[in-house]
Amino acid sequence: MPILETYGLTRRFGTLTAVNNLTMTVEAGEVFGLLGPNGAGKSTAIKMLTTLLPPTSGDAQIAGYSVTRRAGEVRRLIGYVPQMISADGTLSGYENLLIFAKLYDIPRRERDQRVRDALAFMDLTDAADKLVRTYSGGMIRRLEIAQSLLHRPRVLFLDEPTVGLDPGARRLVWEHVQQLRENYGTTIFLTTHLMDEADALCDRVAIMHLGNVAATGTPAALKASIGGDGATLDDVFIHYVGSTLDSGGAYRDTRRARRTARRLG
């Protein structure tokens, strides 16, 4: 049964159409990936789905609630980890999570245990009392995912969750994302331009290019669709997207990604 549905979701910035008529469904408990080059519209789409950016036209529903008409209910059902760092480096990991527990209105008697459970799940118990500015990039990402899980969301949105991380840290983040689905049935909606990440994590993917969805399906089905044995998701990406040199917003998005990478490195 779909937990997320979009209906002609569109966002324009002046004459630029960042997301054009996005129509798709995501099943409950699924790991769904929105793929595309910088400037394809991935982050704009996720901001509309998390109620941070109003659509120009169209709508989306999460667990039956409209993101335009029932934004408050939607926010209570979702977690969101943005591409840019959201943890406070001057606080400890525990203190960061405690602040989020208060923001989520978690009852006082439950806060400490929720925070400690989230730290334990993300393998951060030993670093709980250390300042976040001493954390590695992978630890920061895991802390931010822990923050987003405190209120036990039904859908977790991850915008470029491993940008700037080394291969070992990326793999560890992948393991925890998979555990979220397996242990709690959390629906994961992630954006990425890393094809190996999408292949490792996603049940289905949609490939965006210049604001439009070019293809949707399981990684295996999309590989088969371009004919062949030995095809990779990189081959699928190139087939549907082709040259990305003219992608809108590429300079801004590249600068943002590099800034995040420096802060995580």
> Residue 120: is its pLDDT beyond 80?
yes
The predicted pLDDT at position 243 comes to: 56
- Where is pLDDT greater, at 17 or 167? 17
Q: Supply 141's token pair.
A: 């990402």
pLDDT tens per residue across span 19-55 = 999 999 999 999 999 998 888 899 899 999 999 999 9
> Residue 133: is its pLDDT beyond 90?
yes
What is the rounded average pLDDT for all residues in the chain? 89
- Where is pLDDT greater, at 213 or 230? 213
* Cβ atoms 243, 69 nearer than 8 A: no
* Cβ atoms 2, 29 nearer than 8 A: no
The predicted pLDDT at position 173 comes to: 87
* Cβ atoms 158, 190 nearer than 8 A: yes
The predicted pLDDT at position 256 comes to: 56
Nearest residue to 210 via CA among 240, 169, 247? 247
Range of the domain at 28: 2-264
Q: How far is CA 261 from the centre of its chain?
A: 16
* Cβ atoms 86, 144 nearer than 8 A: yes
What residues form DSSP beta bridges with 129?
Answer: none
Number of domains forming the structure of the chain? 1
- Where is pLDDT greater, at 11 or 39? 11
pLDDT tens per residue across span 188-217 = 999 988 899 999 999 999 999 989 999 999
Q: Supply 186's token pair.
A: 């959390």
The predicted pLDDT at position 249 comes to: 47
Nearest residue to 50 via CA among 17, 86, 16, 14? 86
Distance CA 207, CA 219 (A): 11
CATH number at residue 181: 3.40.50.300
Non-local (6+) Cβ contacts of 126 within 8 A are none
Write the DSSP assignment of 225-263 as a string of letters.
HTT-TT--HHHHHHHHH---TT-TTHHHHHHHHHHHHHH
Q: Which residue has the tokens 């209910």?
A: 73
> Averaged over 168-183, what is the pLDDT?
88
- Where is pLDDT greater, at 228 or 34? 34
The predicted pLDDT at position 132 comes to: 96
Number of H helices, E strands in the chain: 10, 10
